[in-house]
Amino acid sequence: MNRTTFLFRGLVVFCVGLIFLMNGTRSREKNDVRPAWSLDLRTVGWVEPSSSSPIGFFSTLAGISFPNESQVLMYFVLHQTSVSLSVRDAPKPTDPFQLIAVLADSNTGRVIMQQAWPTTGNSTSLIKPLESGGYVVVAHDKVMFLDASFQVLHASNLLIFGGTPLEGYSVYPARDGPLVVLQHAYQNTVASQAIDTNTFQVVDRWDEDHLSSVAVSESVIVETNEQSRLLRVRKIGGTSFTIDLAALQGLSSPAFLSDRVIAVRSGNGLACVDLLGRVLWKFDYAVKERLHILATSQNGQYIGAYLTDIRASFFDTFHSKSKVLIYDANSQKISCAIRFLHEPKHHFAFALSPNGRQLGVVMDEKVELYHLPN
């Protein structure tokens, strides 16, 4: 084979490989879901967390949700040494920690409203939408119920022990209906209370000896524990019972798909069960994947799962790439996947819109909204 023939064949192989690579790239791009818009939270006050932030600061650093199909709600906890706000009912300039809520148009990303409340760095700080169209806010030692324009309808102090506000509140609004469950831990007791947001009255209380994850429907509350395969079902004004899901592992992140069906994380897998104790379907992820959190659409048709790829080195095990997989709850098939090139440095949160056609993601200082091909 002479030199000319060798170079010619090499060129042909190179061109064929290039065409194959380009087609493969186009195929991946065609199936890739791109964000419809993104928002840099630094434009609305977000500041990079510092290493001097108190312990527990990162546990409730940011979140995202959809009050309705046309609006997206973002929040983050701001730690700064000085502020100069003149908005009525805004934090005082001497308050170093603030809970910032930003309501935006989900189609364009345009900011509609912004509000702030004083808080502390080591207590729960969050805002979540209610089925009624309002919001529930927990900031430092207060729980507040707001209307759609962020005006306070009712406020009360959280439980205080030993002269200091209790830390570590969890808040679970109902998928449908007026209930909100507040849960907190103190010493060896986990106390929970269900509040009717129409009357702001406590309609049920109960104590346990371990922390649990909660999902709330119109009048039913389910609780799971990551160390147990038991599903506890509590009916407001009715009976309570426990279901042993023997086919599953430690349970967490329950979410109602309908009044009688929930999605739940089981070990490193995803499962769908009903309140009769039947496992409708389940599957486990690969060893090199780690399932962290779930989210569901309000109509119960779609489930989102956030996973990271695990990579092992000689010295340690670490997470690199991450992704959100969107499942059709009926067919159990993946309808789309959103992949990220890295893990967040500080926080990650995501939510599906009520009909499952939109996905909102908060990763550190960036918010991205995706229109899904569901």
pLDDT digits (tens, 9 = 90+) for 208-263: 877 789 999 988 999 998 888 999 999 987 789 999 999 898 899 999 999 999 99
> What's the CA gap between 138 and 276, in Å, rounded?
34
Residues 6+ apart with CB under 8 A from 349: 62, 63, 64, 361, 362
Query: Following CA atoms 369, 266, 176, 349 in sequence, which dihedral angle do they give, to the nearest 10 degrees?
Result: -30
> What's the CA gap between 33 and 339, in Å, rounded?
9
> How do the domains of the chain map onto residue ranges?
1-31
**Residues in a beta bridge with 334:** 327
In tens, the pLDDT along 320-339 reads: 688 999 999 999 999 999 99
Residue 7, classed as helix, strand or coil, is helix
Global pTM value: 0.82
Residue 251: alpha-carbon gap to chain centroid: 17
Contact 251, 221 (CB under 8 A): no
Q: Give the per-residue pLDDT at 88.
A: 45
Residue spans of the chain under pLDDT 70: 1-32, 49-60, 80-95, 121-123, 159-168, 311-320
